[in-house]
Amino acid sequence: MGDDLLQPNIIGMDQATTQQVFQPDEHQHIRYNPLKAEWVLVSPHRCKRPWSGQVEKPAEEEVPPHDPNNPLCPGNTRPNGKVNPNYESTYVFTNDFPALLEEAPPVPKSDNPLFQCAPALGTCRVMCFHPRSDITLPLMTLDEVTKVVERWIAESIELGLKYRWVQVFENKGAIMGCSNPHPHCQIWASSFLPNEPRVKDHYQRQYLAKHGRPLLRDYLDQELQKKERLVCENASFVALVPYWAVWPFELLVLPRRHVLRMADLTADEQRLLADIVRQVTTRYDNLFRCNFPYSMGWHGAPTGEAMSEDCQHWVFHGIYLPPLLRSAAVKKFMVGYEMLAQAQRDLTPEQAAQRLRDCSPVHYKLEQ
């Protein structure tokens, strides 16, 4: 794809239409996401009113530590008759309703460019983080979250031997379509590279070829200098609102050293990844004093046959995509212009980062 295709068509519109000097936190503009070659419209003038601290709390869901009818709890029988062990840490099982199966008949080759079809093999797993249902990642101990990270890695290594892409993701909160309050995530492994990593693979490869350094290495270096969008950090990881964030409080978690895959983390780094997960989710919960919903996941270099390919353009990273905008009850809808034209946001990424930086690092439920 030629670079010119990535430019929005602004020919003839670059002359000044006002005497004002451009301020990114006041004036509308579009920002570029180099990972996906996508633009986002930023309209900060729409949210000039100061933040009121408004907290419209939805009814806090009462979750019991153990629900005999919850199919994810230890010792319970799932609807398909399988019995969960009395697990005491993490627990992984094959999804009873998987979107991907390990076997399927061969797909006939399609020569027609308008009707392309290709094989899709894989497997889907469910991973419980903890035996208790009334706990979430920020309320778990560092040891407990480290066990979660270790299990993510073990699963990624095992599935990555066979599959090109292993997607670890957590859908949290009913607002995100999560069906169960028990702390859990999903792991889907596929024979194909799904759209998001496929596009990121392309643009990271192109960036390395052109600039001689991985895109996200250069990006982190500059963010560490600018300091405008940093939220929290530790010795191995940095969490920031990306310059091109689409969701109001979107976060990107980046390693300080060049790590291709989560499996490449040392034991110390795994613990520090658990620490940054706790830091991020604590700030999220504190933002609106609620059990903050999001979809999150990890991206790293592809696996399977790609393990023997050159993947130096990749940098392991985490992505948090939360839907909340103004309060625990006000969600950003990606509809209308977003569905038909492109993503748009009011709050700037810098303002979002400031708001998250201002949140306490201590979870509100753990305050004395």
Catalytic residue positions, numbered? 184
> In this chain, which of 133, 171, 236, 281 binds ligand H2U, going by CB under 6 A?
171
Q: 5-29: b or e for each residue (b if 16 or more CB lie within 10 Å)?
A: eeeeeeeeeeeeeeeeeeeeeeeee
Decide whether 79 or 106 has the Cβ nearer to ligand H2U: 79
Q: 200-209: b or e for each residue (b if 16 or more CB lie within 10 Å)?
A: bbbbbbbbbe
Least separation in angstroms between CB 82 and ligand H2U? 8
Least separation in angstroms between CB 32 and ligand H2U? 31
> In this chain, which of 9, 19, 50, 97 binds ligand H2U, going by CB under 6 A?
97
Token output for 192 = 């194909």
From 18-26, 175-183, 220-228, 293-301, span contacting ligand H2U (CB under 6 A): 175-183
- How far apart, in Å, do the first and last CA atoms of the chain sit? 56
The reply to whether 95 sits near ligand H2U by the rule CB under 6 A is yes
Least separation in angstroms between CB 125 and ligand H2U? 9
Decide whether 170 or 269 has the Cβ nearer to ligand H2U: 170
- Binding footprint of ligand H2U, residue count (CB under 6 A): 13
Q: How many residues does the chain have?
A: 368
Decide whether 7 or 77 has the Cβ nearer to ligand H2U: 77
Rounded-to-integer distance, Cα 259 and Cα 311, Å: 11
Least separation in angstroms between CB 101 and ligand H2U? 13
Task: Quickly count: other Cβ atoms within 10 Å of residue 45's Cβ.
Answer: 12
Residue of this chain nearest to ligand H2U (CB atom):
71
From 7-15, 89-97, 135-143, 149-157, span contacting ligand H2U (CB under 6 A): 89-97
Site for ligand H2U in 178-207 (CB under 6 A): 178-180, 184, 186
Show the binding pattern over residues 46-85: x = contacts ligand H2U (CB under 6 A), - = does not.
-------------------------x------xx------
> In this chain, which of 56, 96, 221, 268 binds ligand H2U, going by CB under 6 A?
96
Least separation in angstroms between CB 96 and ligand H2U? 4
From 15-23, 147-155, 176-184, 200-208, span contacting ligand H2U (CB under 6 A): 176-184
Q: Are 26 and 46 in contact (CB under 8 A)?
A: no
Decide whether 95 or 206 has the Cβ nearer to ligand H2U: 95
Task: Quickly count: other Cβ atoms within 10 Å of residue 219's Cβ.
Answer: 22
Q: Are 363 and 292 in contact (CB under 8 A)?
A: no
Decide whether 180 or 234 has the Cβ nearer to ligand H2U: 180
Site for ligand H2U in 103-162 (CB under 6 A): 126
Decide whether 296 or 325 has the Cβ nearer to ligand H2U: 296
Rounded-to-integer distance, Cα 164 and Cα 145, Å: 26
Least separation in angstroms between CB 240 and ligand H2U? 26
Decide whether 66 or 78 has the Cβ nearer to ligand H2U: 78
Least separation in angstroms between CB 169 and ligand H2U? 9
From 103-111, 171-179, 271-279, 344-352, span contacting ligand H2U (CB under 6 A): 171-179
Contact residues toward ligand H2U (CB under 6 A) are 71, 78-79, 95-97, 126, 171, 178-180, 184, 186
